Amino acid sequence: MKTAFKIIFFLSLVNTAFAQQYVQGTVLDKATGEPIPFTNVVLKGTYKGSATNFDGEFILNIPKDKTNDTLVFSVVGYKTLMEPVKNFIGEKLHKFYLTPFVYEIADVTVESKSQLYNTILKRAAENISKNYYQGPFNYDMYYRNTQMQNNKVSRERQAAVRLYDAKGYGQANAFTAYKERGYEFLQVRRSFELNSLSDRSTQLDDLLEFDIVRIDNNVLNPLYVYDDYDAELLKITQVDGDSVWVIKFKCTNPTLGNTGDNYALSYKGLVYIKMKDYAVIKYEAEYESSNYSTQGRSLYVNEAKQENEPMSISYKVTTRYKEYNGTYFLSSIEYKREQKWRNKKSHAVHSESVDAQILVTDVVVENPEVIAMRAYYEEVPFDAKFWETFNYLKDEKPKNPKHKK
């Protein structure tokens, strides 16, 4: 099912791609030759662009009037690379090498238990309204969600989504942010039919909760940052020529209010903060939970009615932001959840996982389209021509491909 879905989707994209001009390739670490996932690949002076997948691969549609523009490759921990678009247009797969950033100050003092770093986190929260866009806007996003049962793909969804935010950035609780945002599906591809309400649920809201400078149930909430967190400086790195603190945190008292998870057992991670303006540009977090509601991680579960009891639940999140004209916007969100359950009657054990990504491909701040409601269920006929100008994440190669007779 998944193979057929990917082949059909890929062929339709290839056919349309040949009608357009584009650049495609792989972004690699110059020192190790390893791929660099989720590198931003944009046209200089615009927000329009794409990002590399987990194999470091990307494809970027180039409008005809942008042939003489410049490609910009940027990611935390590497020096920014700029290349002329016209040198790389065509079917050929190119390799682009980024140079790792090495902090040149010989002696960096790392204070493991100082509240200095809690203060930096608090200041980052206080500067959200200065650093991130204020006012209504649209995000055009590529959304991909893959679900697995017992290590086999059960369903996959890929979609183009337009989101409307009525207020812009400024930390709010999850319910307020929920009311101020709406979205619609522009295009969808699925590997399954819509036969039930659970089939129709897109789970997009699960990812949007990890836009951590928009929603306050995380380490950036000033109410909790001193009392509920240990923080220390892990290292100093760089992005786009700016120095960045990498602050390691651990929540000492996980609750719904400071994690967004009603059943949180542990919460820890890293926050990347620019020194020049205290802007958060990257967030990596790991969570463990004692239970999970299919309606959302913040909601209550009636355990007496559960057919299966949870054995282990964990998930990892990476959220990235990037700067455009002196203002920061969301760039991408990655989400990986793994669960193991035991049936209460048969005691059979089964595993589930969700692997999902959001990639923001464009931002509109002038006369954004107002979308008042959420499209919880999407039924949009596939339009191959749409993908001619829409940027998406390339599918990764199978890690251990097996020969099928």
| Model confidence pLDDT, tens digit, residues 39-79 | 889 888 887 788 888 888 998 888 888 889 999 998 888 88
Give the integer Cα–Cα distance in Å for 62 and 83. Answer: 14
For residue 283, give the nearest of 247, 329, 233, 234 by alpha carbon.
247
Token pair recorded at residue 359: 């990639």
With beta carbons less than 8 A apart as the criterion, state whether 25 and 50 touch: no
The partner residues of 340 in beta bridges, in order of sequence, read 312, 351
Domain 2-98 sits in CATH at: 2.60.40.1120
Strand ranges (DSSP E) for 99-228?
137-149, 152-165, 181-190
Look at residue 401 in the predicted model and tell me its pLDDT.
38
pLDDT at 241 over 50: yes
pTM across the whole model: 0.83
pLDDT digits (tens, 9 = 90+) for 333-388: 999 999 999 999 999 999 999 999 999 999 999 999 999 888 766 677 777 777 77
| C-alpha dihedral (83, 85, 91, 97), degrees to nearest 10 | 10
- In the chain, where the domains are located: 2-98
Look at residue 82 in the predicted model and tell me its pLDDT.
92
Strand ranges (DSSP E) for 277-348?
280-289, 308-324, 327-343
pLDDT at 299 over 50: yes
Give the integer Cα–Cα distance in Å for 285 and 308. Answer: 27
